[in-house]
Amino acid sequence: MHEPPEKNRDLICINTIRTLAMDAVQQANSGHPGTAMALAPVVYTLWQRFLRFDPDDPIWPDRDRFVLSIGHASMLLYSMLHLTGVKAVNPQYERLGHVAVTLEDIRRFRQLESRCPGHPEYRWTSGVETTTGPLGQGVAASVGMAIAAQWQAQYFNRPGFEMFGYDVYALCGDGCMMEGVSSEAASLAGHLRLANLCWVYDNNRITIEGHTGLAFSEDVATRFIGYGWNVTRVGDANDLEMLERAFNTFRATSDRPTLIMVDSHIAYGSPHKQDTHAAHGEPLGAEEIRLTKRNYGWPEDAQFLVPDGVHEHFAHGIGARGREARSAWLATFEQYRERHPQLAAQLIQMQRRELPQGWDRDLLPAFPADPKGIAGRDASQKVLNAIASNLPWLLGGSADLAPSTKTRLTFGGAGDFSAANRGGRNFHFGIREHAMGSILNGIALSKVRAYGSGFLIFSDYMRPAIRLSALMEIPVVYIFTHDSIGVGEDGPTHQPVEQIASLRAIPGLITLRPADANETIEAWRLIMQLRHEPVALILSRQALPTLDRTKYAAAAGLAKGAYVLADAKDGRPDVLLLASGSEVALCVEAHEKLTADGVKARVVSMPSWELFEKQSAEYRASVIPPGVRARVAVEQASTFGWAQYTGPTGEVIGMKTFGASAPLKKLQKKFGFTTDNVLAAARRQLRRRDG
């Protein structure tokens, strides 16, 4: 039997991708087949001819990254993962040997426990580089991946040893282009001249509501040229030669990122489908699938067909090329390990999200007791710099607020990351909070430890990215300062009220609000040892008293989320005072006065509800005894959620309205955040108990 001509073999593989997408969506009776069908030639060309990726080792550090930002076209990626034989990898970085996506997984597309969920999910399906679905998030995260590649190359590469030099490809559509986060991210990518970044834009002019002309008429090419990108165009997504030329243009461009605009159109079996192919958030229907397969010259009644030779063709293309590239890299790494043993050890530690020995050797043992104290943001700056000086791959920045959030790394050699300095560890994201969050995700997905900062009120601008950090279980550190009405004169627009409660509502996110400088030390000690949990570290602008830890409990209790800070002498309190952050000091003052009056009170510092809920029932009961019903909670934030700790009869001193513009002390008095008000609430609780 004669081998089919190369063009025929290409077309067979492309139509295999298309028909798998059609069949999977039809069987699931749910999904988006059109985009996967239209872009099959694009992804085929990229993977088979360009992508440096070894299916046998999908976590090889120097692999090219492929991001499907149009996550609704997930069958496009699942088809490639199956056809190229990508192997599954578990969280312990042990290659398991079996394929990540079986044909049975594709048959069970969008079904419970299938490795082919509705949108690609990181850590669930090996070969998926980032969770996508919310449009724009994938392309924005790809900017972080490109940044990480540049930083890793600058830090680890040595003459004769290129340990990092990978490219990042992201496939996006009109929805991604309309989302504001992509504009923020593209602007920064152009400014940083990330020449290792390529976005492929499916210019199909269709969204769910219809033609893009309903709401989108801008000149995307001119827009990206304005951002400082190289822009090239492919007039027909089915033209493999023009696609190859476009990818070669990207590879030859060394001074800016590249946007490849691809005009896509697909021929369905029925003429009436021609202008509505791309969005298709629904199956095509059995008859339409038969007609379309006939149009492809495909067996009309065959389902989930992978013709003979398709797997082998991919094995001889991306498989062989990726295996050769990875083998060469591993051989180079062994020589690198001999020549640069410290760097090689760090590279491995970074990939495994492990900490080097001595990472905490410069941490302050404790801040001395001080009634005037220090602001949370200032204490954090000291701790962050102490850690970062011993952890080279800890880096980050802020959305134009580093002087206020105190997140700048100030030790010698830290420097600023820029187009001229790829080794800098301070990042300037500009006033782009949303993109900053997504870019941090991309950096963290590349195994570099990333943090970003802003005012707590602006966490609202970052919420989609924070949610994805938690969903993907990646240890991004979000540093939020100006944590309360303590912002004072800036007024309600800058005073966070509901933000802490809303962050606590995100599953998998650890929200930490330390009470003083020593809890801030312990917060960072905990944060750096996390491997799969993102953190929102919430810090004050104003000074907080540094508690006397010879008198009160050690700040190490923070690691359990809540702990008994001050207690009745016999350990059997009549009233509980619960608080986080700056309000803990108020409760300590109230405790002293209650104790002087013969009232048995306990102060519980509660920096993290999430960590507290992970403790045993016995520990939680030892901190908040169920039998003690007289309870007062104090927090300069929404009262929402505190009832789970105060019970139905407890009292919460918190914010039930927005704030106001005034000096801090006047605001504290107006909204009840005073020692006298805490005392009054405690006595009301005791009277209620005794009544």
Q: What is the token pair recorded at 549?
A: 């830890």
3-state secondary structure 584-616: HHHHHHHHHHHHHCCCCEEEEECCCHHHHHCCC
Note whether 655 and 639 are within 8 A (CB): yes
C-alpha 276/C-alpha 184 separation (Å) is: 30
Note whether 467 and 155 are within 8 A (CB): no
- Alpha-carbon separation of residue 548 from 367, 372, 551, 602 (angstroms): 9, 12, 6, 16
C-alpha 404/C-alpha 64 separation (Å) is: 37
Note whether 228 and 200 are within 8 A (CB): no
Q: DSSP letter at 161?
A: B
Q: What is the token pair recorded at 437?
A: 């969050």
Q: What is the token pair recorded at 613?
A: 């809920």
Task: Using DSSP, state whether 453 is helix, strand or coil.
Answer: strand
Q: What is the token pair recorded at 230?
A: 């190289």
Note whether 293 and 13 are within 8 A (CB): no
Please report where in the chains the tokens 């927005």 appear, as a residue.
658
C-alpha 365/C-alpha 303 separation (Å) is: 65
Query: Of 463, 457, 458, nearest to 495 (Cα)?
Result: 457
Task: Using DSSP, state whether 520 is helix, strand or coil.
Answer: helix
What b/e readout covers 42-76, taking b as 16+ CB neighbours within 10 angstroms?
bbbbbbbbbbbbbbebbebbbbbbbbbbbbbbbbb
Query: Of 501, 500, 629, 611, nearest to 559 (Cα)?
Result: 611
Q: Choosing from 433, 519, 583, 635, which is the catalytic residue?
A: 433
Nearest 5°: phi and psi at 12? -60, -45
- Cβ–Cβ contacts within 10 Å for residue 372, how many? 8
**Catalytic: 473?**
no
Question: If residue 524 lies in a helix (H) or strand (E), which one and from where to where?
Answer: helix 517-528
Beta bridge partners of 416: 426
C-alpha 32/C-alpha 120 separation (Å) is: 13
- Alpha-carbon separation of residue 403 from 125, 172, 197, 373, 511 (angstroms): 40, 35, 30, 20, 23
- Catalytic residue numbers read 433
